[in-house]
Amino acid sequence: MALWYASWMQLGKQALSALDSSRKKTKTPGESTKVLGRSSDSPATVQQTAPATFRSSLEQALLAAWFPSGGEPSAKHHSLVPRGAVGAVIGALVWLVTRSWLGLAAAQAVERLASKRRAGITIKQDQRPPVVIVGNLVAGGSGKTPLVIALAKALRQRGLRIAILCSGYGGKLEGQLLTDHYASPFDAWRAGWSDEAVLLAIESACPLFVGRDRSAALALCLSRQAQLDLILSDDGLQHRGLERAYEILLVDSRGLGNRRCLPAGPLREPVRNRKPSDYLLLRKPSARPKPGQDFMLSKIEINALARSSQWLPEPGLVVMDRRDWLAGRADAITLTQFAERVCGANLLGVAGIAQAEALANALAEQGIEAHWQFPGDHRALDLDGVLATASACGQAIDAIVMTAKDAVKYGDLPLTVYVLFQTHSAPEPLCLALEHIARGPSTS
């Protein structure tokens, strides 16, 4: 699938190059050239739209096709999918992936392969230390990493010794990430660790082992950590080679989308006839779904997907000054307080995450508008260049707001930086179940 995705990306880039060449040849003297919202023949302004790479725009267009929103976007709606020729190319690629016979055939192949792999997974309830996987069924981010952090903190407070496994997608280094070897999170990220790995290590304060091969990461963990009560794996649900004692399945408020497998839909594996997981967490939407948007699971599906289940509220957002966060001070404020604090300020927003468009829209609904930049999941911006261009436009940036995953990818900045955090809590029934698994059956 990665090869097909790369081929479609290359096809799109070639089409865009041809369009750009044609545009340059036919450009009229009065036609403007956009530079961060400024045109060569119009007053300098920083654009309110969302600059994004071609790949991030394609990713967001795929998410929109997989999870149709229904209805019309509000006036404050931010869209990462551009209009014009670029948008047409992206639309054609999305149709090819999600609607054409080629995309549907690929989805059927993925469904067969994923079903076969799932059938080969065994749950070893007597595994010591037990490996607990926190995974999901869909691509495009569902909040697994914040949930793993919340579970790790809650279990450590109960006196359990916890380690964490993650894939390190987007990074170059694998092995054990030792944060005390680096002066700052940015130094760790610059050395080659992925943004999610750095964030997990900082926030959980647990030993962290990184590797695409989860079984190899587990072996390294066991060789270096002799006294562990439980190991959490951030994803790896579909990794057949990773032995596990317990599976936690997370479904966010978007549900299961169009219920097709990749690439025609978001599913990593089919729901039908799936071997059940142990615990299912479902996020309740913060608002009533729009017509055509209710993709949540039925009671029959919930009972088939896991032996136990629990509904959770949609996580909220809080904000911290980046300096306070790096210093270990927990002085978070609500979005309402943040909106009051930055009222009238010229904000730059940075969201290098899977659901970047949804984040921008959530803040806009709270009255927090920013000049959003979307570098794409796991990618960083040239912030110095962006700030310099904004100043040259006559609209200097007053402050920056970014996600926690973005905050580890930048060094010292000349402006105040605010960091967005999701407010996840570890469900008490699940924590009790995990504590029981970690400590083993009572001998009394």
Q: Please write the tens of the pLDDT for every residue from 10-19.
A: 444 444 444 4
Q: What is the band of 30 on the pLDDT scale with cuts at 50, 70, 90?
A: very low
The answer to whether the bond into 129 is cis (omega within 30° of 0) is: yes
Q: What is the dihedral of CA 233, 234, 239, 242, to 10 degrees?
A: -10
DSSP annotation string for 6-74: HHHHHHHHHHHHHHHHHHHHH--TT---EETTEETTS-----SS--B-HHHHHHHHHHHHHS---SPPP
Structure tokens belonging to residue 42: 């119009």
**If one looks up domain 120-315+425-439 in CATH, what number appears?**
3.40.50
Which of the two residues, 375 and 14, has the higher pLDDT score? Answer: 375
Structure tokens belonging to residue 2: 């990665």
How confident is the model at residue 379, as a pLDDT? 86
Residue 363 phi/psi, 5° resolution?
A: -70, -35
Task: Tell me the CA distances in angstroms from 56 to 78, 80, 351, 376, one per residue in order.
Answer: 14, 8, 11, 5
Q: What is the dihedral of CA 342, 76, 60, 386, to 10 degrees?
A: -40
- State how far the Cα of 120 lies from the Cα of 118, in Å rounded to an integer: 5
How confident is the model at residue 147, as a pLDDT? 95
The alpha carbon of 4 is separated from its chain's Cα centroid by a whole number of angstroms, namely: 22
- State how far the Cα of 61 lies from the Cα of 80, in Å rounded to an integer: 8
Long-range contacts made by residues 22-28, C-beta under 8 angstroms, separation at least 24?
A: 23/85
* Contacts for 135 with CB less than 8 Å, ≥ 6 apart: 144, 233, 235, 236, 237, 238, 247, 248, 249, 250, 277
Q: What is the band of 396 on the pLDDT scale with cuts at 50, 70, 90?
A: very high
Mean pLDDT in residue range 34-44: 33
Q: Which helix (H) or strand (E) holds 340?
A: helix 335-341
Per the document, the length of the chain is: 444
Structure tokens belonging to residue 214: 């989860």
Domain with CATH 3.40.50 in the chain: 120-315+425-439, 317-423
Kindly provide the b/e burial profile for residues 319-339, where b requires at least 16 CB atoms within 10 angstroms of the residue's own CB.
bbbbeebbeeeeebeebeebb
Residue 420 burial (C-beta neighbours within 10 Å; 0-12, 13-18, 19+):
buried
- Inter-residue contact 278 to 308 (CB < 8 Å): yes
pTM of the predicted structure, to 2 decimals: 0.85
Q: What is the band of 46 on the pLDDT scale with cuts at 50, 70, 90?
A: very low
The alpha carbon of 29 is separated from its chain's Cα centroid by a whole number of angstroms, namely: 43
The alpha carbon of 393 is separated from its chain's Cα centroid by a whole number of angstroms, namely: 32
DSSP state of 288: P
Q: What angle do CA 3, 235, 325 make, to 5 degrees?
A: 110
Kindly tell me if the per-residue pLDDT of 114 is higher than 70: yes
- State how far the Cα of 278 lies from the Cα of 248, in Å rounded to an integer: 6
Q: What is the tally of helices (H) and strands (E) in the chain?
A: 15, 16
Over residues 268-323, the pLDDT tens digits come to: 999 988 999 999 999 987 666 555 555 568 888 898 899 999 999 888 899 999 99
Kindly tell me if the per-residue pLDDT of 353 is higher than 70: yes
**Three-class SS of 87-133:** HHHHHHHHHHHHCCHHHHHHHHHHHHHHHHHHHCCCECCCCCCCEEE
Mean pLDDT in residue range 434-441: 92
Amino acid symbol at 398: D
* Contacts for 283 with CB less than 8 Å, ≥ 6 apart: 143, 250, 251, 252, 253, 311, 312, 313, 314, 315
Over residues 245-276, the pLDDT tens digits come to: 999 999 998 889 899 999 999 999 999 889 99
* Contacts for 380 with CB less than 8 Å, ≥ 6 apart: 352, 406, 409, 410
CATH class of 317-423: alpha beta
Lowest mean pLDDT among 46-50, 136-140, 351-355: 46-50
Structure tokens belonging to residue 70: 């229904």
